[in-house]
């Protein structure tokens, strides 16, 4: 239960930080009414989607939910973990909220300022909140796949992350560049990969040694692999001549 809460909180925190960066950029350049209205509308749409989809999930047989959601969370979590390893190895660039904020404000400054209702501000804030919010919704559904109690716990973690980021945004009025986003993604990648493996196993009828205790064991195993692979990849990349940035970018697409 505590692990689900922590996983939902940390994963949602990362997504909320990314959304906050853009909403802050929109608000500071184009004005706050459009930015806040866009973000609030997106949150309303997301809440409506959760209200519609959440109860439907409880009617699907549990092992089927565990299998499908487990597979999705594995794809999602292992993608994060793979990127986190490559970032830790210095093979792909770290995510930089300050740079993202500067880029977004430059784009918004270049756009024409309309009189009255600022549709651009609304749309930009709505888009980013919907995009990152969709990821949060998916994370909550994935982590809460084990039943209603877990779903409530995962939702609580996500709501706590949202409130924490909104409070920090109001207090600081600048992007949260000091949040160790890449470290968080590393941790969340480990957590999601472990949960995904566990749920797929449960859905497939596999008997885990130690039952639920297999989850922390899986986390430890994924963490050990990730920590070992980052320096190994760094060494391998150094030993390989003629590596170009374009090659690396192409490989990510």
Interface residues toward another protein, by CB under 8 A: 67, 71-72, 74-76, 78-79, 81-83, 85-86, 89, 91, 123, 126-127, 130-131, 134-135, 138, 193, 197, 200-201, 203-209, 214, 218, 221-222, 225, 229, 232-234, 236-237, 240-244, 247-248, 251-253
- Shortest distance in whole angstroms from residue 167 CB to another protein: 26
Q: Which is nearer to another protein, 131 or 177 (CB)?
A: 131
- Shortest distance in whole angstroms from residue 182 CB to another protein: 15
Rounded Cα–Cα distance for residues 66 and 61 (Å): 9
- Shortest distance in whole angstroms from residue 116 CB to another protein: 21
Q: Give the CA-trace dihedral at 208, 215, 193, 176, to 10 degrees.
A: 170
CB 193, CB 81: distance < 8 Å: yes
Residue 177 burial by Cβ neighbours in a 10 Å radius (0-12, 13-18, 19+): middle
- Shortest distance in whole angstroms from residue 23 CB to another protein: 15
- Shortest distance in whole angstroms from residue 124 CB to another protein: 10
Q: Which is nearer to another protein, 72 or 164 (CB)?
A: 72
Pick the closest to residue 155 from 143, 142, 166, 140 (CA basis).
140
233: Cβ–Cβ under 8 A, 6 or more apart, which residues? 85, 86, 89, 91
Assign residue 75 a region: left if phi > 0, alpha if psi is -120 to 50, beta otherwise? Answer: alpha
Using the Cα atoms of residue 207, residue 209, residue 211 and residue 213 in order, give the sign of their dihedral.
negative
- Shortest distance in whole angstroms from residue 241 CB to another protein: 7
Query: Which run of H or E residues covers position 1?
Result: none
């Amino acid at each position: 239960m505590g692990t689900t809460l922590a996983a939902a909180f940390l994963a949602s925190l990362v997504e909320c930080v990314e959304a906050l960066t853009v909403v802050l950029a929109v608000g500071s350049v184009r004005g706050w009414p459009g930015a806040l209205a866009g973000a609030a509308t997106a949150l309303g749409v997301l809440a409506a989607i959760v209200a519609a989809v959440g109860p439907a999930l409880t009617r699907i047989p549990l092992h089927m939910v565990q299998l499908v959601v487990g597979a999705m969370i594995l794809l999602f979590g292992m993608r994060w973990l793979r990127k986190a390893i490559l970032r830790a190895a210095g093979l792909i660039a770290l995510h930089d909220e300050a740079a993202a904020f500067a880029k977004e404000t430059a784009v918004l400054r270049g756009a024409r300022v309309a009189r009255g209702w600022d549709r651009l501000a609304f749309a930009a804030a709505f888009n980013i909140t919907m995009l990152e919010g969709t990821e949060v919704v998916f994370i909550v559904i994935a982590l809460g796949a084990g039943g209603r109690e877990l779903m409530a716990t995962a939702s609580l973690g996500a709501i706590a992350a949202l409130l924490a980021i909104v409070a920090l945004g109001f207090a600081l009025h600048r992007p949260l560049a000091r949040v160790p986003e890449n470290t968080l993604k590393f941790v969340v990648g480990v957590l999601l990969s472990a949960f995904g493996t566990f749920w797929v196993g449960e859905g497939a009828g596999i008997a885990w040694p130690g039952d639920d205790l297999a989850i922390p064991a899986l986390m430890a195993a994924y963490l050990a692999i990730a920590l070992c692979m980052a320096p190994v990849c760094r060494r391998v990349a150094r030993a390989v001549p003629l590596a170009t940035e374009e090659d690396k970018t192409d490989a990510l697409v």
